[in-house]
């Protein structure tokens, strides 16, 4: 679980509504990697409540967090640590921020540590005191600063409060490895995943499940459908075919593809959408530009995931609505999860 708090902070990033989430935040792997979450639930009044935990070892109040286990991804660690420290399972959504600082290491040395935080909706569960955490309090999110000991946690909560909890989520996936098109003799629509692609598909299932998907959509390509079929199977639902999100259809009519994704995003909850490399960069980039979300270069490696968070409000003049008045989702946050590394795939 979590080790001692920072002796001196070396990096406290400004609030960002876009991020790339991987294990190498500054070009060099930090000595200590950790993850946590702002665990929230609807309050008894209109206020959202978040969980703060008391750690007797340090005598502090903090957000649940802890170190990554070997072979664990950042989102997996965040969800596991929340459950271990609070007794409550959760559904992850947007990435809030990464905090970096120094911690004691060895006899006289210092080490770098990074902690990635997510928003996480609480599922039913009961807190049980444990060795690491002896008390949990549900407090109004707007008053969390009064409880939390560390300024870094205040910044994380501020990031959480910057957007509402009622957003919808689209998990936009590029299909896993499927070999080379030139080496497949047959209808390219039927080109299947490669051996490496099947391993990536299994890892993607673990990642996508953390975000509580409820619906599954795919471009009509076998490799796309295979990438997300296990998610659909676990939900006992069918994959909804999305012709407008294939490369050929998107190249011919990108606006139709954007409209279709926004219709999916307009539904509440979380949807998985699997598409292709000729679609995703332009699709995400154009939505971000339209909605004023700075992303820079939009990557889309095979088996990577964009976690797109949408405000489902009525707005006009953005090119999303057919008539300028219908409710149209607004892209408010975008987090990129690169594909599994070769050694883990």
Question: Which string of DSSP letters, residue by residue, matches 34-61?
Answer: EEEEEEEEE-SSSSEEEEEEEETTTTEE
The pLDDT of 40-59, averaged and rounded, is 90
Instruction: Copy the structure tokens of residue 129.
Output: 């005191």
Alpha-carbon distance of 195 to 206, in angstroms, equals: 18
171 in Cβ contact with 273 (< 8 Å): yes
- Predicted confidence band of residue 47 (pLDDT cuts 50, 70, 90): confident
Q: Class of 8-161 per CATH?
A: alpha beta
The per-residue pLDDT for 315 is 42
Count of beta carbons in the 10 Å neighbourhood of residue 269: 11
Q: Which CATH class is domain 168-337?
A: alpha beta
Q: State what percent of residues in the chain have pLDDT above 70.
A: 85
Phi-psi region of 17 (alpha: psi -120 to 50; beta: other; left: phi over 0): alpha
Indicate the pLDDT class of residue 317, thresholds 50, 70 and 90. Answer: very low
pLDDT at 27: 45
User: Model confidence over 177-232: pLDDT tens digits?
Assistant: 998 777 777 777 789 999 999 999 999 999 999 999 999 999 999 999 999 999 99
pLDDT at site 18: 67
- Residue 180 near residue 223, CB atoms below 8 Å: no
pLDDT tens-digit map of 90-120: 999 999 999 998 888 777 788 899 999 999 9
Beta-carbon contacts of residue 113 (< 8 Å; ≥ 6 apart) = 3, 6, 30, 31, 32, 33, 34, 100, 101, 102, 103
The CATH 3.90.79.10 domain(s) of the chain lie at: 8-161
219-244: buried (b, 16+ CB within 10 Å) or exposed (e) per residue?
Answer: bebbbbbbbbbbbbeeeeeebeebeb
**8-11 and 90-105 beta bridge pairing:** antiparallel
Mean of pLDDT over the chain: 87
Range(s) within the chain of domains with CATH label 3.40.50.1240: 168-337
Q: For residues 36 and 53, is the Cβ–Cβ distance under 8 A?
A: no
Does the pTM of the predicted model rise above 0.85? yes
């Amino acid at each position: 679980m979590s080790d001692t708090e920072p002796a001196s902070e070396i990096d406290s990033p400004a609030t960002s509504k876009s991020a790339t989430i991987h294990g190498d935040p500054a070009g060099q792997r930090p000595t200590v990697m950790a993850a946590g979450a702002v665990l929230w639930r609807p309050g008894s009044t209109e206020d959202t409540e978040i969980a703060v935990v008391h750690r007797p070892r340090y005598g502090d109040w903090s957000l649940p967090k802890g170190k990554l286990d070997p072979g664990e991804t950042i989102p997996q660690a965040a969800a596991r640590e929340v459950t271990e420290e609070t007794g409550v399972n959760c559904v992850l959504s947007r990435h809030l921020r990464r905090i970096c600082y120094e911690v004691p290491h060895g006899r006289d040395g210092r080490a770098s540590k990074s902690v990635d935080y997510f928003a996480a909706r609480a599922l039913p569960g009961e807190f049980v005191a444990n060795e690491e955490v002896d008390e949990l309090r549900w407090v109004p999110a707007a008053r969390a600063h009064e409880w939390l000991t560390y300024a870094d946690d205040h910044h994380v909560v501020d990031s959480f409060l910057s957007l509402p909890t009622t957003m919808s989520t689209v998990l936009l996936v590029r299909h896993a490895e499927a070999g080379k098109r030139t080496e497949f003799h047959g209808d390219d629509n039927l080109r299947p995943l490669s051996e490496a692609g099947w391993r990536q598909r299994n890892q993607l299932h673990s990642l996508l499940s953390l975000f509580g998907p409820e619906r599954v959509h795919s471009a009509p390509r076998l490799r796309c459908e295979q990438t997300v079929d296990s998610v659909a199977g676990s939900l006992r639902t069918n994959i909804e075919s999305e012709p407008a999100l294939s490369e050929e259809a998107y190249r011919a009519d990108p606006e139709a593809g954007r409209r279709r994704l926004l219709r999916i995003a307009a539904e509440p909850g979380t949807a998985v959408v699997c598409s292709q490399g000729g679609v995703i960069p332009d699709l995400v980039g154009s939505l971000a530009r339209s909605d004023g979300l700075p992303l820079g270069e939009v990557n889309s490696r095979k088996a990577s995931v964009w976690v797109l968070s949408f405000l489902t409000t009525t707005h006009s003049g953005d090119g999303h609505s057919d008539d300028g008045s219908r409710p149209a989702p607004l892209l408010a946050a975008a987090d990129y999860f690169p594909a599994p590394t070769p050694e883990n795939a």
